[in-house]
Amino acid sequence: MSAAARFVTLEGIEGVGKTTQVARLSTALDARGIAHAVTREPGGTPLAESIRQVVLTAREEPLPPTAELLLMFAARAVHLANHIEPNLQAGRWVICDRFTDASYAYQGGGRQLSDEPIRELEHMVQGSRRPDLTILLDAPVQRALARAAARNAGSVQDRFETERKEFFERVRAVYQARAAAEPNRIVVVDAAQPVEEVSARILEHLKARSWIS
Amino acid sequence: MSAAARFVTLEGIEGVGKTTQVARLSTALDARGIAHAVTREPGGTPLAESIRQVVLTAREEPLPPTAELLLMFAARAVHLANHIEPNLQAGRWVICDRFTDASYAYQGGGRQLSDEPIRELEHMVQGSRRPDLTILLDAPVQRALARAAARNAGSVQDRFETERKEFFERVRAVYQARAAAEPNRIVVVDAAQPVEEVSARILEHLKARSWIS
């Protein structure tokens, strides 16, 4: 087993249980004495969260897709420089709820921007930094959205969560295509299973890499 | 004289009198019955102003130069789509206090980012849109900063205005180099002259193009 710090991201559409699984993964790492930071995108630092607020706040003035993409990568540049890289350099794992695969899936797939600007920004902001492992929590859109809606009952839904089902079908399709294209980095876990089963599958992927026992 | 709407930007370091000259140019256009919008960057719409606030607010957490650049272009994408282009399409001139030359000057020159990401973002956000005319108000840094300091006496200075003199020397040098490289688009006006003289020189440039009488 290597002691190297790992950069692990969890991806998937709303309602697949990312937040729950990030918390359960953190508990499993704690139980093994593995130092780690838990974070999320967009956001992850006070400054990046302030950029997240600009993106997610519903307002009358439209946010052009290119501007949304630039804000996402601005927040990511802050998050990488001020939180992710310092943790990895200090030997702590970083468990991140969403990263650049989400930009391809949401801005590319969902909002139908071309991949070219996303690739340019990925290079500009990350250089060669990529997650060591990405766990794609996958479930049928109807099922995931029903879960997200139940969770948000009585609360104000953010801008993304009011988008239509077809939007999330496009998002899911891009996630699946990326997993197929990069099977070594991105593993697909069936998120329609019970929560405990999903957690077990995630830990199996870490064990298979000899990152945990 | 053509009736086409013109996109005119004013550039220069702090304290050269851009705000004053934008106002005087607006008055001169009003006197000639030329419909126009006056705006500024970063900002220009409520959403773009909210991005401007993220950039200009002083805070403990550092803002990496690449993130600053991305925020500037995110605000610009909003400003172009929601304000500049609709005005030009409607036949109104747009007079803008700072635009993309400022990104080259401040982020490229001042913060010493390479030009490559700036050029990529310019293409991504603007396509082929460029100002029809850019007026560079030029003055020695020491003189301009003294004016900016007097203006801000007793107020909280924003993050840029606390930067050092060498920073502004680099900014000015990039502005001058860009004017030398694009003499048809960028005209240099000596901002150390009396305000009325500066205004007169600006109007002469518009008259020389037969845009105003």
pLDDT of residue A2: 46
Pairwise CB contact (< 8 Å): A70 & B66: no
Pairwise CB contact (< 8 Å): B70 & A73: yes
Which H or E run includes A116?
helix A115-126
Question: In the predicted model, what is the mean pLDDT of residues A165-180?
Answer: 95
CA A196 from chain centre, in angstroms, equals: 20
Pairwise CB contact (< 8 Å): B73 & A70: yes
Pairwise CB contact (< 8 Å): B51 & A71: yes
Residues B101 and B186 sit within 8 Å (Cβ to Cβ): yes
Q: What is this structure's pTM?
A: 0.88
Question: In the predicted model, what is the mean pLDDT of residues A47-71?
Answer: 91
A188 CB within 8 Å of a chain B CB = no
Residue A199, pLDDT > 70, answer: yes
Q: Phi first, then psi: give them for residue B102, nearest 5 degrees.
A: -65, -30
A56 CB within 8 Å of a chain B CB = no
Residue A33 region by backbone torsions, left for phi larger than 0, else alpha for psi between -120 and 50, else beta: left
For the segment B121-155, what is each residue's pLDDT rounded down to a tens digit? 999 999 999 999 999 999 999 888 888 877 776 55
pLDDT category of residue B108 using cuts at 50, 70 and 90: very high
pLDDT of residue A118: 97
Q: Chain B contacts of A111, Cβ < 8 Å?
A: none
Residues A160 and A14 sit within 8 Å (Cβ to Cβ): yes
* DSSP secondary structure letters along B135-193: EEEE--HHHHHHHHHHHTTTS---TGGGS-HHHHHHHHHHHHHHHHH-TTTEEEEETTS
User: For chain A, how are helix, strand and coil distributed in percent, rounded to 5?
Assistant: 55, 10, 30
In angstroms, what is the C-alpha Rg of chain B?
17
Tell me what the pLDDT averaged over chain A comes to: 92
**Cβ-nearest to B54 among A51, A61, A63:** A51
Stretch 125-144 of chain B: residues touching chain A, C-beta under 8 Å: 125
* DSSP secondary structure letters along A142-189: HHHHHHHHHHTTTSPPPTGGGS-HHHHHHHHHHHHHHHHH-TTTEEEE
Question: In the predicted model, what is the mean pLDDT of residues B104-121?
Answer: 94
Pairwise CB contact (< 8 Å): A70 & B67: no
pLDDT of residue A49: 94
For the segment B53-98, what is each residue's pLDDT rounded down to a tens digit? 998 887 899 999 999 999 999 999 999 999 999 999 999 999 999 9
- Please give, rounded to a whole number of angstroms, the shortest distance from the CA of A133 to a CA of chain B: 25
The residue type at A12: G
Poorest-pLDDT segment among A83-97, B33-47, B141-155: B141-155
Q: Chain A contacts of B74, Cβ < 8 Å?
A: 67, 70-71, 74
pLDDT category of residue A154 using cuts at 50, 70 and 90: low
Poorest-pLDDT segment among A53-62, A71-80, A102-111, A118-127: A53-62
pLDDT of residue A1: 41
B59 CB within 8 Å of a chain A CB = yes
pLDDT of residue A153: 66
| Token pair for B23 | 């106002």
Poorest-pLDDT segment among A46-55, B76-85, B184-193: A46-55
Pairwise CB contact (< 8 Å): B67 & A77: yes
Residue B13, pLDDT > 70, answer: yes
**Cβ-nearest to A78 among B46, B63, B120:** B63
Question: In the predicted model, what is the mean pLDDT of residues A121-133?
Answer: 97
Question: In the predicted model, what is the mean pLDDT of residues B3-24?
Answer: 94
Residue A100, pLDDT > 70, answer: yes
Residues B124 and B175 sit within 8 Å (Cβ to Cβ): no
Q: Chain B contacts of A59, Cβ < 8 Å?
A: 46-47
Residues B126 and B7 sit within 8 Å (Cβ to Cβ): no
CA distance A92 to A88: 5
Look-up of token digits 């004013």: B10
DSSP state of A191: T
Pairwise CB contact (< 8 Å): A54 & B77: no
pLDDT of residue A36: 98
Q: Mutating which of B50, B57, B61 best tests the A interface, going by the most A Cβ atoms within 10 A?
A: B61
H helix intervals, A12-45: 18-31
- Please give, rounded to a whole number of angstroms, the shortest distance from the CA of A160 to a CA of chain B: 17
Q: Give the other-Cβ count within 10 Å of A190's Cβ.
A: 12
